[in-house]
Each structure stands twice: as structure tokens, then as C-alpha cells.
């Protein structure tokens, strides 16, 4: 699929146009400049032609800001990837020195460039846009990304200059969301896996703001890795930007298949990490726990066993979860972590034949039936797996109202022992036959 990068200085409306093109509010938009940091990918189409869109951070040459220098690297990488570039400027400020820096960068790239003059939402501003001829491009397109006027002309020209594409069937890839507290090493983990600096990494907590997908193909299995912003307690979230970042992270958990929970082993499996864990459990997602920065922990021959026992105690009663001790910096066990996530995905999508399920579970239930209640005995006649995205099982009996929670947990543990549902919440229903 052809790739289109939206490039320009900070606060010209790149993310607003990106959201309009992909028809979703995926990139955070705010009046504060410098909101977008990482490259953000989405799909769009126009006149039957599909293409990928990259939203980039604002390009600022020669800044002392640690984020700005990293953002500039990301912009340059996006330009290198792109088949065509939308160079965005805005009419209110006119041509600035930063616009001229971007124009020089784009001329060096020798890629096809469309100059888009944003915030042209009146006739008087159309005349003001004439000065942008001074940037040295053949023509420009006036538009207002906030209300969509003028975007049609831009897209008509864009699809003409994009290379021809080979049609293939649409595929829905599994989604693995990498989630955790701020500064736990989530972006570093994905960068280490894919072998390139796709995401900006600094020592400052809250560097990542959007939830961003990366396609990954390894171990003969293709999936989307989703980098997310760190999730803090509500009481600690003071600014709008962080609020939206956290909301994107929670939405990423809701829409993923497996959540990879990264936490800082030097800080421990604290209350906020546990809250994220139970959020995934409530949404019936597969879970893999990664204890990062394991190289910084003082260890003896019992440390791993004791730490694992401590984590499982915090996760009770859902203790059948894989825990991998990693160091992203040293690249220790990062591939083991992703292999484990793939196994959990297979466990989550596992389907047990009804005949096998009954042959296995009914003798266990006969040997250990539900406790009698008020002289009433529960008799289970039949069981089946329900057609749901995560494992759900229905057990049909004469008196389902007398089956209590401890017995449901007993049945769940037997199912886990017989069929291996490690890392996956299992739901048990008792129904009237």
C-alpha cells in the first residue's frame, strides 16, 4: 500500500487532517504545540485508491529540547518511508523560518510534495495564501482541516501521483497492546523487538502520548503491536493531554486480543499496575506480565521464585498468568516475551470439541459434584463451549441457582489443568437444562 506522510512545523493542523483522512479521532489534537511525538499510522482511501497515512510531530530544526530533536528524527524517517508527502503550512502565521527549513528538507528528499495551506476558511484568507508560492513549489492547495473544505481537491491530486498498488484481500491481524505505568519501558520494548527506533524514548515519564500500531512478523505469526501511553491514577492526571493519552491506552486494552503488561521490577507490582491487570481481566483479554529492568534487581537463587510468588498473590484468584523477567536495555528474554504472548493468543482462541469436553469434565464433576444445598443435589448432564471471542463454557444442570462461586472456580481450575488456558480469563456458566 502507498504511504503518505503529513509533514510541517508544530501546530499547523497535521493531526486534525490525519484524523479526517482516516475518519477516526485517533491522533490527539490540542491547541498546545508539540502534542504529536511519534509517527502515527492510519489507513485512508479516495476514489477507490487505498493508502497509508503517517502523522508526524512538528519539525523544528536546531532546538535544544530533547523531544524536538527526537521528533525531527521521526519526521525524517517518515519522509524516507513515504511515496508522497503533504507539506502542511497555515495561513494565519504566513511563511515562517521553520516552514522554510521543512521546505529545504523536502526538496532534498526528491519525493513528490503537495503543499497544503491550512486554516483557509474564508475568501479573504484565500488571497493571503498567495505568499506561499515563495516556498518554491509549483502550486498549493487551500483547505481547512477542521471542517474539511478543500480536502477533496488535495486528495484528487494526491491519488494521481501515488504509485499503482496491487490489490490483496483485507486481513484482520491480532492486536497485542503493550501497556503499563509511565516510564516502565514500553516504547523501548517495541523498539528492541522491531530493531529500529520507531518510538521516541526518553527518561521523562509520559513521553508517549498516542496509542500507535506497528505491524510485526516473527515466529511465523503476524500481528499488530500497539504502543500506549503510561497509565497513572486519576488523581495524578492534571492536564488534558495526559487525560486523552490515558483514555487512548484504555481503549487500546478494550480493542486488543492480548495485553502485554510491562512494569518496572525495581518499583514492584504496585497498586496501579494491579489496576491495569484487572482492567484487562474485566475485558476478558489475554495477559502476559513482563517484569522489566530485571538487570537492575539484586538477585540470589531464590529471587525469581519469590518475586513470581509475590506477583501471583497480587493477582489472586486469576493466578494462571505467564510472567517473564526481561531487560529491554540488555535485550534479555524480549523474544521469549513475544513468543509467550503468541501462545496466550492461541489459548484465547482455542475451541474444545463438545464430545472431548464432556468426556473429560463429566467424570470429574461426577467424582466431585457441587455441594448439596438445603437437601438439594445438583446434577450436571452436559457441557459445551460457547461461540465467543474468549473461552466461555456452559454447564447444563437441574438446579443452577445452587452452584456457588467456589465450585465455579474449581471447575475453571480443572478446565485450565486439562486444556491449558494460561494467561486467559475463563468464564463459567451453569444453566437450567
3-class DSSP state of 21: helix
d(CA 45, CA 236): 40
Residue 398 annotated as part of some ligand binding site: no
Is 119 labeled as ligand-binding? yes
CA–CA gap between residue 133 and residue 242 (Å, rounded): 38
309 annotated as ligand-binding? no
Q: Is 230 one of the annotated binding-site residues?
A: yes
Nearest to 174 by CA among 392, 389, 427: 389
- 408 labeled binding residue: no
Q: Tell me if 215 is assigned to a ligand binding site.
A: no
Is 14 part of any known ligand binding site? yes
Strand partners for 46: 49
411 a known binding residue?
A: no
Q: Is 118 labeled as ligand-binding?
A: yes
Asked if residue 355 belongs to a known ligand binding site, the reply is no
Residue 207 labelled as part of a binding site: no
| 12 labelled binding-site residue | yes
Is 56 annotated as ligand-binding?
yes
Q: Any known ligand binding at 182?
A: yes
121 is in an annotated binding site: yes
19 annotated to bind ligand: no
> According to the annotation, is 59 in a ligand binding site?
yes
Q: Characterize 337-361 residue by residue with b for buried, 16 or more Cβ atoms within 10 angstroms of its Cβ, and e for exposed.
A: bbbbbbbbbebbeeebeeeebbeeb
Q: In angstroms, rounded to a whole number, what is the distance separating the alpha carbons of residues 337 and 195? A: 15
Tell me: is residue 278 an annotated ligand-binding position.
Answer: no
Cβ-based burial of 62 (10 A; exposed 0-12, middle 13-18, buried ≥19): exposed
9 is in an annotated binding site: yes
The pairing of beta strand 221-227 with beta strand 212-218: antiparallel
Start-to-end Cα distance in the chain = 52
* Residue 320 in marked binding region: no
11 is in an annotated binding site: yes
DSSP annotation of 130 = G
Does 227 carry a binding-site annotation? yes
Nine-digit cell string for 322 = 505467564
Other CB atoms within a 10 A radius of the CB of residue 217 amount to 10
58 is in an annotated binding site: yes
Q: Is 48 annotated as a binding residue?
A: no
Q: What is the SS3 assignment for 329?
A: coil
Any known ligand binding at 231? yes
Question: Is 8 a known ligand-binding residue?
Answer: yes
C-beta separation of 118 from 150 below 8 A: no
The 8-class DSSP code of residue 134 comes to G
β-partners of residue 175 are 224
Question: Which amino acids are annotated as binding site for GTP, given as ranges?
Answer: 8-15, 55-59, 118-121, 180-187, 227-231, 292-295
Question: Which amino acids are annotated as binding site, given as ranges?
Answer: 8-15, 55-59, 118-121, 180-187, 227-231, 292-295
Amino acid at each position: 500500500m502507498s504511504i503518505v506522510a503529513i509533514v510541517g512545523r508544530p501546530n499547523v493542523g497535521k493531526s486534525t487532517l490525519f484524523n479526517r483522512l482516516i475518519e477516526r479521532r485517533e491522533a490527539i489534537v490540542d491547541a498546545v504545540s508539540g502534542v504529536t511525538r511519534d509517527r502515527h499510522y492510519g489507513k485512508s482511501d479516495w476514489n477507490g485508491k487505498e493508502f497509508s497515512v503517517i502523522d508526524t510531530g512538528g519539525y523544528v530544526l536546531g532546538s535544544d529540547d530533547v523531544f524536538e530533536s527526537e521528533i525531527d528524527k521521526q519526521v525524517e524517517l517518515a519522509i524516507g518511508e513515504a511515496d508522497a508527502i503533504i507539506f502542511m503550512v497555515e495561513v494565519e502565521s504566513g511563511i515562517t523560518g521553520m516552514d522554510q527549513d521543512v521546505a529545504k528538507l523536502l526538496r532534498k528528499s526528491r519525493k513528490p510534495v503537495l503543499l497544503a495551506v491550512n486554516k483557509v476558511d474564508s475568501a479573504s484568507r484565500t488571497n493571503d495564501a498567495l505568499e506561499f508560492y515563495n516556498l518554491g513549489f509549483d502550486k498549493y492547495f487551500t483547505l481547512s482541516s477542521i471542517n474539511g473544505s478543500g480536502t477533496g481537491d488535495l486528495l484528487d491530486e494526491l491519488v494521481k501521483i501515488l504509485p499503482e498498488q496491487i490489490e490483496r484481500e483485507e486481513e484482520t491481524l491480532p492486536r497485542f497492546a503493550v501497556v503499563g505505568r509511565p516510564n516502565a519501558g514500553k516504547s523501548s520494548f517495541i523498539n528492541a523487538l522491531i530493531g529500529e527506533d520507531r518510538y521516541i524514548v526518553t527518561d521523562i515519564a509520559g513521553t508517549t502520548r498516542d496509542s500507535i500500531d506497528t505491524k510485526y512478523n516473527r515466529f511465523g505469526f503476524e500481528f499488530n503491536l500497539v504502543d500506549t501511553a503510561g497509565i497513572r491514577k486519576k488523581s495524578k492526571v492534571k492536564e488534558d493531554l495526559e487525560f486523552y493519552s490515558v483514555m487512548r491506552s484504555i481503549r487500546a486494552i478494550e480493542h486488543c486480543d492480548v495485553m502485554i503488561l510491562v512494569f518496572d521490577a525495581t518499583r514492584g507490582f504496585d497498586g496501579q499496575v494491579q489496576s491495569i491487570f484487572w482492567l484487562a481481566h474485566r475485558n476478558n483479554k489475554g495477559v502476559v506480565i513482563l517484569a522489566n529492568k530485571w538487570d537492575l534487581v539484586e538477585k540470589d537463587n531464590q529471587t525469581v521464585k519469590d518475586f513470581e510468588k509475590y506477583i501471583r498473590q497480587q493477582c489472586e484468584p486469576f493466578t494462571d498468568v505467564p510472567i517473564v523477567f526481561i531487560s529491554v536495555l540488555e535485550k534479555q528474554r524480549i523474544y521469549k516475551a513475544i513468543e509467550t504472548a503468541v501462545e496466550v493468543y492461541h489459548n484465547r482462541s482455542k475451541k474444545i470439541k463438545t464430545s472431548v469436553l464432556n468426556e473429560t469434565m463429566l467424570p470429574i464433576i461426577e467424582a466431585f459434584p457441587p455441594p448439596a444445598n438445603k437437601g438439594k443435589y445438583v446434577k450436571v448432564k452436559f457441557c459445551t463451549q460457547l461461540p465467543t471471542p474468549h473461552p466461555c463454557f456452559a454447564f447444563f444442570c437441574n438446579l443452577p441457582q445452587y452452584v456457588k462461586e467456589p465450585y465455579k472456580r474449581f471447575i475453571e481450575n480443572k478446565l485450565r489443568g486439562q486444556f491449558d488456558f494460561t494467561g486467559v480469563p475463563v468464564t463459567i456458566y451453569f444453566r437450567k437444562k
